[in-house]
Amino acid sequence: MILSWLIIVVLILAGTYYLMNAREIQLFGGITSHVDTDEKVVALTFDDGPTDKTGEILELLDTYDATATFFLIGKEMEEHPEEVAQIIEAGHGIGNHSYSHKRMIFKSPSFIEKEIRRTDALIRKAGYDGEIDFRPPNGKKLVMLPYYLYKHDKDTIMWNLEPDSEFTSVEDKVRYVADHVEGGSIILMHPMYDGSGKEMKAVEGILKELSSKGYTFVTVKELKEYEQD
């Protein structure tokens, strides 16, 4: 008896853990980790910030004629309004990455609502009028967050290539993306708090490698339009 209860508890915990981190499924609403297309288009996505690294990132994107999507943190937007304006001005996509970057699992509905609404309001105040997708802090979501997003018609944007989770060297990160990229890939990078400059080098390497393979870099919103049935 005790053993069967134990098995049930372990199964529930394993299921919860799986669901919390899953990139392809969630309980409610749309979730996108990539787009199915034969076209050579990819979306480069940057999480966190904005920080004073923004100008450097925008210059790099400009060099490769690339547009990207920035999932910004509300609190950081308040501290770096000029950087937000620069991102919008350059025509990139902006997504909501919560206000305080606290994990949004086992949190109350009012906490979730406040985090998302506050950040959406900052994005609108900055003059961005595109659709605002959401990316969960640390990619974690369970029940209440997907439910809120579903109720408010917001898509959850995940990714299918995240070199930072598996590699530390610039070369390995670039090679991993170059080897695994496909039309419709969504790539996650973190150049905003890049003290060593290594992440920026990795972003540059990816822009260079993928451009030479004939890929174009578009926003997540544009990428979704390539979805084939």
In the complex with Zn ion, the residue whose CB is nearer, 48 or 76, is: 48
In the complex with Zn ion, the residue whose CB is nearer, 47 or 194, is: 47
Residue count, binding to Zn ion (CB under 5 A)? 2
In the complex, what is the shortest distance from the CB of residue 219 to Zn ion, in angstroms, rounded to a whole number? 18
Q: Which tokens sit at 108?
A: 């109350």
In the complex, what is the shortest distance from the CB of residue 65 to Zn ion, in angstroms, rounded to a whole number? 26
Count CB neighbours of 136 within 10 A: 24
In the complex with Zn ion, the residue whose CB is nearer, 47 or 120, is: 47
Contact set for Zn ion, span 28-57 (CB under 5 A): 47-48
Which runs of consecutive H residues, i.e. helices, occur in the chain? 2-21, 54-63, 74-79, 81-89, 109-125, 144-151, 170-180, 198-212, 220-224
120 touching Zn ion, by CB under 5 A? no
Residue nearest to Zn ion (CB): 47
Count CB neighbours of 63 within 10 A: 12
- DSSP, collapsed to helix, strand or coil, labels residue 210 as helix
- DSSP, collapsed to helix, strand or coil, labels residue 171 as helix
Handedness of CA 146, 150, 153, 156 (dihedral sign): positive
Distance CA 116, CA 133 (A): 10
162 touching Zn ion, by CB under 5 A? no
In the complex, what is the shortest distance from the CB of residue 151 to Zn ion, in angstroms, rounded to a whole number? 23
199 touching Zn ion, by CB under 5 A? no
Dihedrals phi, psi of 19, to nearest 5 degrees:
-65, -40
Distance CA 210, CA 181 (A): 8
In the complex with Zn ion, the residue whose CB is nearer, 146 or 183, is: 146
In the complex, what is the shortest distance from the CB of residue 203 to Zn ion, in angstroms, rounded to a whole number? 16
In the complex, what is the shortest distance from the CB of residue 209 to Zn ion, in angstroms, rounded to a whole number? 24
Q: Contact positions toward Zn ion, by CB under 5 A?
A: 47-48
